Chain A
Amino acid sequence: MTELKTADPPDLEQVYRDQRTTLLRLAFLLTGSREQAEDIVQTAFVTACARWDRIEQPLAYLKRAVVNRANSTHRRWARERGRHVGERTTEIPDIDETWTLVKQLPGRQRIVVVLHFYEDLPLTEIASILSRPAATIRSDLKRALARLRKGMK
């Protein structure tokens, strides 16, 4: 089975129209910022454009690009933690409380949590996406869950 493989701009634009929101949601969960999410998704599409005819699974490719860019952003902005302006979320108390705790996780831990609980990926696949050992991803998730449990007391 082949997915969108042609270099025709309409196909790329169609994917952009169809998947932009999906990718924005993922990027927002990964970064906690709508502005960063928009930058990341836009850059992912622009970068994909140059090699579009070689991409066999556009959504998987774009998701991976979004995750890696979010990961890179976390590393670069590691010292910017705590400066994020509060974002409008759900206004459901326990959801907002949990989301606040998730946003306070160190960048890589948050990425692992989002990929595991939102994208429903097994740890081995997360390890593959992030090019890290599965043991490290497992440790990241353990630490993240320990912090979340502590915050939910």
Chain B
Amino acid sequence: MNNRETELVIEPELDSRLRRTLAQVAMTVGDIDETQAASFPSRPRFPRRRRFALALGTVLITAPLLGFAYVQVGAEYVNRLPTENALFQGRSGADQYWLVPSFHQDSCGKPMPGVELVSKRRNIIGAEWDTAIVAYGKANEDDKGCITSTPLSASPAQADIAVTRLGPDDDHTTDWIVFGAFHPSVHSVRVTAREAATRTVATLPRTDDPNGPRYAALTMPASATQATITLLDSHGVAVPGGVRHFPPER
């Protein structure tokens, strides 16, 4: 069920520049120390990594005394969980999660549209952010990658839905979470799965955009192997074309 509806669209110039750069840089490796390649190493050399690990271990012990001054504070590192404006929140086992207005920024320093899923166990203070964004509508960007507008689609059947597991990466015993961004006319979503009772959850808009896209989040048991998500209007009637299957049907 680890799927997303679309892949990213990347402008050709940036795509080409990155491919060319990485290929050229990679080619600079190869003329170094070829003598080492003559025979397979029977044992590892002394790993430099361990020396760093030891140093880092010492730092970590003293970190609480230094508080946030030690933690690398910045847009890409967790310094606090911005949960105060959460649209949804919940618990799953030892984990807590929130669906909050997007707080990461685009190339121009403006907040990204949509909402972000923030899980406590995946976002430890000082580590890199590990969140996922869903946003409704197709963002228009200028030539610098700055989002200029995010017009709503005319079709209420369109949605941006993600399904993922909560908790650590390699733990397949944790619950699933379904979250998405929907057209303003979608007031609830119904999730059905063989392994769980059918649930319907109301969608909510961001408080700073009450007439804009609406969002929802809910969990499903870890044992679930598939799910069907149905978009419902304000009368609880299914939106035509508003059914999604996870994993997607081929």
Contact = CB atoms under 8 A, between A and B. Distances in A.
A43 to B, nearest CB: 6
Contacts of A135: 2, 4, 132, 134, 162-164
Interface string A11-46: 011001100110011101100001111110011011
A113 B18 contact: yes
A25 B126 CA distance: 29
A99 B21 CA distance: 6
B3 A39 contact: no
A6 interface: no
B145 A149 contact: yes
Given A45-B41, A79-B59, A81-B72, A102 B47 contact: no
Nearest to A102: B21
B210 interface: no
Given A35-B48, A92-B24, A134-B2, A106 B128 contact: yes
B208 interface: no
Interface residues of A, number: 72
B99 to A, nearest CB: 13
Interface of B: 2-4, 7-8, 10, 14-15, 17-30, 32-33, 36-41, 43-45, 47-49, 52-53, 56, 59, 72, 76-77, 104-108, 112, 116, 126-128, 130-134, 144-145, 162-165, 169-170
The 3 closest A-B pairs by CB, nearest first: A149-B145, A133-B164, A135-B162
21 contacts: A16-B40, A21-B37, A24-B29, A78-B127, A79-B126, A98-B21, A106-B76, A108-B128, A130-B169, A131-B169, A133-B2, A133-B132, A134-B2, A134-B164, A135-B163, A136-B130, A136-B164, A145-B14, A145-B145, A149-B107, A153-B107
